[in-house]
């Protein structure tokens, strides 16, 4: 009985939080590169709120402009615009904040 209680106590303290959204829709890196249309590194220049769309049930949408610094795949351009949703309980969406000028 004593050993079981110690095992349970150690198991509870050693366990970390399980975040459900960390593994949703995440292919391995090589597969993600293969299926992506564009792969680049960039800095957020602006994030503009788009008008509400009735089918989005009040979920905020954004047009995010990024200044590209490096391309791995796709047509090279100086800036790229991506469209994003505000984060939600469905594990979809992302927040993009413009870089702070220092």
Q: For the segment 59-70, what is each residue's pLDDT rounded down to a tens digit? A: 888 999 999 999
Distance between CA atoms of residues 32 and 38, nearest Å: 10
Write the pLDDT tens digit of every residue in 5-48: 444 444 444 455 555 566 566 788 899 999 999 999 999 999 99
pLDDT at 84 over 60: yes
Distance between CA atoms of residues 4 and 9, nearest Å: 9
Mark 55-73 as b/e (b = at least 16 C-beta within 10 Å).
eeeeeebbebbbebeeeee
């Amino acid at each position: 009985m004593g050993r079981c209680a110690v095992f349970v106590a150690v198991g509870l303290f050693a366990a970390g939080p399980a975040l459900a959204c960390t593994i949703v829709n995440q292919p391995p890196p090589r597969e993600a590169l293969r299926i992506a249309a564009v792969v680049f590194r960039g800095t957020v220049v602006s994030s503009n709120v788009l008008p509400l769309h009735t089918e989005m049930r009040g979920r905020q949408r954004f047009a995010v402009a990024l200044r590209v610094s490096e391309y791995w795949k796709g047509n090279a351009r100086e800036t790229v615009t991506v469209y994003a949703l505000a984060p939600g309980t469905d594990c979809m969406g992302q927040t993009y904040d413009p870089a702070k000028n220092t």
